[in-house]
Amino acid sequence: MTPADHRDTWPAPYAAAPVVADVRLPGSKSLTNRALVLAALADRPSVLRAALHSRDTQLMAAALTALGAEVDSAGADWTVTPGAWRGDVDVDCGLAGTVMRFVPALAALSSGPVRFDGDPHARTRPMGAVLGGLRDLGVDVDDDRRGTLPFVVHGTGAVKGGSVTIDASSSSQFVSALLLAAPAYDEGVDVRHEGGPLPSLPHIDMTVACLRERGVEVDDSEPARWRVAPGPVTALDTVIEPDLSNAGPFLALAAATRGSVLVRDWPATTTQAGDAWRDLLVQLGAEVSVEADGLRVTGRELHGIDVNLHDVGELTPVVAALCALADSPSVLRGVAHIRGHETDRLKALATEINRLGGEVTETDDGLRIRPARLHGGTFRTYADHRMAHAAVVLGAAVPDVRVEDIATTSKTFPDFAGTWAGMFA
């Protein structure tokens, strides 16, 4: 099977028997884009081995190239050569949160205006906290006070930096954006979060770890406060870990079909939020074991769960798909912030699972899911790769599910559809 274009639907493979397979995943999008940013700030060229080739990472590479870095992404290993920051350029963010949030803090170092825009839905994603934070640090940002794309950052060649307080309750990327650029600011940054609960804290931990690996001094000893000292960023020859969030649908395939799936090269230690799959799948009733070659999940009867996914909100769509197949009710909590992701994921999940006969109710911060007899039909993805992941998991257990715009998965996993279909061979 091959991915359909955006006008078509794709027949999700149905598992008439337990699926037994193994898979090797492409590199982490989150780690690749953080490594690209820091390599562009480094003191000499860096090499990113096993970097992810996807739309989001290519958009990041293009943005950094426009600003003056040189990114050679032709092979499996990418070389990034820092350059002088320049202005009077345009940056296409696509639908990539890391591009629209991380790059403006770098654009402030440029020598002129940097214009940002993206896909139509990108214009609805919240940006106010990071743009406001940059203003508080003395950066001239023109967004007509909308707090969304499109906007212009007027770089002056330097940023003083200093202390800033933001409300990052809608995205941890607001904090990461300021931390990643901070070594290049004259005084570094001292970022405080004040507001609602901070989502996806593992992603900030990932940012801090990436900075420290490159010799940057970071003090995160106080809750909701991060201090990054100014100074050089050491170039690295680094290997990008497999994307553990993208592991979700493959591990869920074992749970949904009572099969056995091995994800190869699972890291022994990691800051990736996707490592939470090991615990979540056990709660759902599967067996999880660490083997010499990777992480193996063996499916058993699926049971409902009551779980707070606040720190790992990106896993919610696949968790919801498994809960819709479970034998008892589930409650997913703490993920109000995913309404501001590529789409309103809570509304979209409830709508699409219910379209297949499910019984899903939205709450203020999550979903309530009751057992129901599901049937085939079209599952819309809203140009959101995580929605497509949920769809194919359901399709593995429910005949005749068709997925709209399966090609949206290229955002973080090129040829996802081909890899997925190969699991059923």
pLDDT of residue 147: 94
46-89 pLDDT tens trace: 999 999 999 999 999 999 999 999 999 999 899 999 999 999 99
Residue 1 — pLDDT band, cuts 50, 70, 90?
very low
Q: Is 51 helix (H, G, I), strand (E, B) or coil?
A: coil
Q: Which residues is 27 bridged to in the sheet? A: 242
- pLDDT score, position 6: 39
Taking residues 260-281, report their average pLDDT: 97
Phi, psi angles (nearest 5°) of residue 263 = -100, 115
Asked whether residue 150 carries a pLDDT value surpassing 80, the answer given is: yes
- Nearest Cα to Cα of residue 216 among 188, 256, 194: 188
pLDDT at residue number 35: 98
Catalogue the active-site residues. 314
**pTM for the whole thing?**
0.91
The reported pLDDT for the residue numbered 83 is 96
Query: In terms of residues, how long is the chain?
Result: 425
* 348 contacts 382 by C-beta, under 8 angstroms: yes
pLDDT of residue 425: 84
Q: With 0-12 CB in 10 A as exposed, 13-18 as middle and 19+ as buried, what is 290?
A: exposed
Return the amino acid letter for 125: R
Confidence of residue 3 (pLDDT cuts 50, 70, 90): very low
Closest by CA to 136, choosing from 172, 108, 157, 113, is: 108
- Digit-coded pLDDT (tens) for 352-405: 999 999 999 999 999 999 999 999 999 999 999 999 999 999 999 999 999 999
Annotated binding site for 3-phosphoshikimate: 29-30, 34, 171-173, 200, 314, 341
Let me know: does 208 contact 179? Beta carbons within 8 Å. yes
Helix (H, G, I), strand (E, B) or coil at 165: strand
Q: How far apart are CA 425 and CA 215, in angstroms?
A: 46
Amino acid at 221: S
Q: Residue 345's pLDDT is what? A: 97
Give dist(CA 278, CA 265) in Å, integer: 14
Check whether 107 has a pLDDT greater than 60. yes
pLDDT for 320-356, tens place per residue?
999 999 999 999 999 999 999 999 999 999 999 999 9
5 has a pLDDT exceeding 90? no
Residue 4's pLDDT is 38
Summarize the confidence of residues 219-232 as an average pLDDT.
Answer: 98
Q: What is the mean pLDDT of the chain?
A: 96
Tell whether the model's pLDDT for residue 288 goes beyond 60. yes
pLDDT band (50, 70, 90) for residue 8? confident
Q: What is the pLDDT of residue 145?
A: 84
In order of their start, the domains of the chain are 9-26+243-422 (3.65.10.10), 29-229 (3.65.10.10)
CB 232 within 8 A of CB 183: yes
**211 residue type, one letter:** L
